[in-house]
Amino acid sequence: MSNIFIISGPSGAGEDSVIEGLKKYFEIERIITTTTRQMRSGESQGHPYYFISKEEFITKRDKGEFVEWAEQYNGNFYGVSKEEIERVKNSGKIGTWKIEWKGVITAKKIYPEIKAIFITVPDLKILEDRIRRRDGVSDEYIKERMEYTKEWMKHEDIYDYKVVNEEGKLDETVQKVAEIIKENLHI
């Protein structure tokens, strides 16, 4: 399973941008999370999530079909199915798995060979500023995200690697992550 890498970090750290940037180095296949949240404008089934009802999610969860799952702060469920891990493992591409810290703990128990890369920033103020720049975010949302981020930062030790995504240096961050992947693929 050495072709799958966890790319993880708090909201605003830049994981999506890093994953997108890795396409310059590798053929990427993202592990797609299943969620119960409503599909938003511009989204479709499988982009960026598999969308299902809460009832269906709970049934699949109770049957043990998810590798990891969580109920998020917004009351929606998110999880990755065993079937999805197999799909990406067999794709012949570099698999990227974007999950939050609780999911990393679970994933590492099941798949200890998967390397987890923590994407962070030099300062929490940068994260807050990045979140504020998003459209339509309330002060309450920002407060919730920052509380969650502080909790996240207490768990850096669960990761195999830590990469700091400094403001204005995304290319360097992507390059560091690509080096970690190459190192672990032995290519």
Cα 2 to Cα 129: distance, rounded to the nearest angstrom: 35
How do 34-35 and 77-81 pair as beta strands?
antiparallel
Q: Give the range of the structural domain holding residue 84, as residue numbers without chain letter.
A: 4-185
What CATH number corresponds to the domain at position 170? 3.40.50.300
- Integer angstrom CA distances of residue 64 from 56, 60, 109, 145: 13, 6, 15, 29
Are 55 and 69 spatial neighbours (Cβ–Cβ below 8 Å)?
A: no
Burial (CB count within 10 angstroms: exposed 0-12, middle 13-18, buried 19+), residue 76: middle
Q: Is 120 helix (H, G, I), strand (E, B) or coil?
A: strand
pLDDT of the residue at 95: 96
| Total domains present in the chain | 1
pLDDT of the residue at 143: 83
Cα 183 to Cα 156: distance, rounded to the nearest angstrom: 21
Q: How far is CA 151 from the centre of its chain?
A: 16
Cα 22 to Cα 4: distance, rounded to the nearest angstrom: 13
pLDDT of the residue at 112: 93
pLDDT of the residue at 178: 97
Cα 180 to Cα 60: distance, rounded to the nearest angstrom: 34
pLDDT of the residue at 34: 96
pLDDT in tens, the chain (187 residues): 579 999 999 888 889 999 999 999 999 999 999 999 999 899 999 998 999 999 999 999 999 999 999 888 778 999 999 999 999 999 999 999 998 898 899 999 999 999 999 999 888 887 778 777 776 778 887 888 788 888 888 899 999 999 999 888 999 999 999 999 999 986 5
Q: Let me know the angle formed at the C-alpha of 12 by 122 and 160, rounded to the nearest 5 degrees.
A: 60
pLDDT of the residue at 130: 76
Nearest to 30 by CA among 91, 78, 97: 97
Task: Tell me the one-letter amino acid at 159.
Answer: Y
Q: Is 30 helix (H, G, I), strand (E, B) or coil?
A: strand
pLDDT of the residue at 135: 66
CB-based contacts of 153, cutoff 8 Å, min separation 6 = 10, 120, 124
Copy the structure tokens of residue 52: 């299902």
